[in-house]
A and B are shown apart, each in its own frame.
Chain A
């Protein structure tokens, strides 16, 4: 059982994302295009978390902090400059810098797993209450008012790099978002199969053993943490570019726990699972939201309990397990007469 690296499954998944990216705009209406673009940017956010949690075993409960900083960085810079290229770059860079500082303190200070989760969550909540209290017009960054709980609206969409005012159409943005999702997914999947990625997985399995083999887990965790923050920042930028709005709720508990829920539902250690789960659960949320039948939080509470109890491995690994069982069953049926005489060996 090995999800790591480039295999048929990951290539197929990448290919399907590319097909959606290129074919989507011609079959979907504008509303669906806009909706799916926004979904895809949140899906991008969760891949980073699925990577750092599923591969390195770091449970960052404040993943939304990086997402939110990316979102705000994009909003402020794209308004201030009227151009989105630098804004996107800054949205990747700013959370990465925070991740380096925070990660250095967390990993090199040997902060325990639980404290790490709590501290990352606190960072996110501090940003939440800070942004909430910037309603006064005196709070500006690059002369863009932060807007407090009202957030920043009328954020311009992406434009072609270097061409001020030459905005991407919603269809082009849609394709770009899905292509970026595919690219990031493929890059992470590739990383998992490399030497570095395999060593990173060993940190999750047994940090002490990893260390005794001569690898420095602190450094490996820092690298992974920064990668996930950079991806979250990009995701935040795309989300804001798609919705034209950013508010303090990007930092709130709901946002962080949503990422966690998607990663759990998708299955620990799979990146494609987190992406699939994020789309499924976002559709579910919007369906419940529009139909007004149930309280959304109640449904998601139930969903998380369902996954923890009924499908602890998550969607994708459970399906893979089922397929494997079926194929083994089919093979056994075909070979039954020979199997009976099979001897049991005691040597490994």
Chain B
């Protein structure tokens, strides 16, 4: 079976900084993979390479077996990849409804389109017409992240990249986001970056640890949290505090 996403020796340099260093990663169809790593580990850079926002300096990216390293972002998106960026990237000056409508409009028309918009907005709690008429820049950070998730879901992607989807959320909001991601995962392969370890353990899947642009280890969350070396590079302080 060909993997949903496969990178072979993927490298991404910014001047002298090697943000992604010879990364070979394989995500199978239907997986929900978590990607963790300390600040500056290269998680966001990896996502930018995968989605075509940054040209890799070396190596290859394969999506369903097809090489996409030189594709434009919109071409990759049309192949079925959707991304939620670390810094919420929505249409600030447009209404919540318009944001999601734009996401769904590429694939749907007419009644089906309105139905999808309604369904995805309801899933993130925007039920009233009033809430949907708000401009995206009037919303809180958490709600903007949900709008971006709704946009992503409205695309019905084959693979979704989520860069810190729970950042800056309250406990309740975080729990709700976990549910949302699990729902999206029913039909979509997901690769998710997060710093919040509780969030990662709630998703309870295979975890890849990135460190200084390289894959450090790949394992289950419980093994990762018992791995002394990982604790050292990443969990260290945070983990001891959580104990």
- Which residues of chain B have C-beta atoms less than 8 A from A113's C-beta? none
- Which residues of chain B have C-beta atoms less than 8 A from A195's C-beta? 105
**Residue A209 is within 8 A (CB to CB) of chain B in the complex:** yes
Contact between B126 and A206, CB atoms less than 8 A apart: no
Interface segment among A44-52, A197-205, A312-320, A335-343: the answer is A197-205
Cβ contact of B78, chosen from A205, A214, A348, cutoff 8 A: A214
- Which residues of chain B have C-beta atoms less than 8 A from A325's C-beta? none
Closest to A214 in B: B77
Closest 7 CB pairs of A and B: A214-B77, A205-B91, A348-B131, A211-B73, A214-B78, A209-B89, A214-B106
Q: Is the interface of A mostly helix, strand, loop or mixed?
A: helix
A214 CA / B101 CA spacing, docked (Å): 13
- Which residues of chain B have C-beta atoms less than 8 A from A202's C-beta? 91, 94, 102
Contact between A212 and B82, CB atoms less than 8 A apart: yes
**Residue B98 is within 8 A (CB to CB) of chain A in the complex:** yes
**Residue B183 is within 8 A (CB to CB) of chain A in the complex:** no
**Residue A166 is within 8 A (CB to CB) of chain B in the complex:** no
A209 CA / B85 CA spacing, docked (Å): 9
- Which residues of chain B have C-beta atoms less than 8 A from A209's C-beta? 89-91
**Given A199-B105, A205-B91, A209-B90, 7 further pairs, Cβ under 8 A:** A206-B89, A212-B74, A213-B106, A214-B77, A214-B106, A348-B125, A348-B134
The 0/1 profile, CB within 8 Å of B marked 1, for residues 197-235 of chain A is: 011011001101111111111000000000000000000
- Which residues of chain B have C-beta atoms less than 8 A from A214's C-beta? 74, 77-78, 106, 155
Closest to A206 in B: B91
- Which residues of chain B have C-beta atoms less than 8 A from A348's C-beta? 125-126, 131, 134, 139, 143
- Which residues of chain A have C-beta atoms less than 8 A from B82's C-beta? 212-213
Contact between A212 and B91, CB atoms less than 8 A apart: no
A236 CA / B51 CA spacing, docked (Å): 44
**Residue A290 is within 8 A (CB to CB) of chain B in the complex:** no
**Residue A292 is within 8 A (CB to CB) of chain B in the complex:** no
Chain B nearest CB, measured from A308 CB (Å):
19
A104 CA / B59 CA spacing, docked (Å): 30
Chain A nearest CB, measured from B78 CB (Å):
5
Closest to A219 in B: B74
Contact between A213 and B101, CB atoms less than 8 A apart: no
Known contacts A199-B102, A206-B91; A215/B143 CB under 8 A = no
- Which residues of chain A have C-beta atoms less than 8 A from B73's C-beta? 208, 211-212
A182 CA / B51 CA spacing, docked (Å): 44
A202 CA / B106 CA spacing, docked (Å): 13
A211 CA / B151 CA spacing, docked (Å): 13
**Residue B116 is within 8 A (CB to CB) of chain A in the complex:** no
A215 CA / B139 CA spacing, docked (Å): 25
Cβ contact of A198, chosen from B51, B85, B102, B134, cutoff 8 A: B102
Contact between B106 and A215, CB atoms less than 8 A apart: yes
A250 CA / B78 CA spacing, docked (Å): 44
The 0/1 profile, CB within 8 Å of A marked 1, for residues 83-106 of chain B is: 101000111111100100111011
**Residue B238 is within 8 A (CB to CB) of chain A in the complex:** no
Contact between B94 and A213, CB atoms less than 8 A apart: no
**Residue B66 is within 8 A (CB to CB) of chain A in the complex:** no
**Residue B2 is within 8 A (CB to CB) of chain A in the complex:** no
The 0/1 profile, CB within 8 Å of A marked 1, for residues 52-69 of chain B is: 010000000000000000
Which of A199, A213, A215: most chain B CB closer than 10 A? A213
**Residue B72 is within 8 A (CB to CB) of chain A in the complex:** yes
Which of A206, A208, A209, A217: most chain B CB closer than 10 A? A209
**Residue A291 is within 8 A (CB to CB) of chain B in the complex:** no
- Which residues of chain B have C-beta atoms less than 8 A from A217's C-beta? 74
Q: Which chain A residues numbered 52 to 86 have a C-beta less than 8 Å away from chain B?
A: none
A347 CA / B131 CA spacing, docked (Å): 9
Known contacts A198-B102, A199-B102; A211/B72 CB under 8 A = yes
Contact between A205 and B155, CB atoms less than 8 A apart: no
Contact between A211 and B74, CB atoms less than 8 A apart: yes
Chain B nearest CB, measured from A246 CB (Å):
39
Contact between A212 and B94, CB atoms less than 8 A apart: no
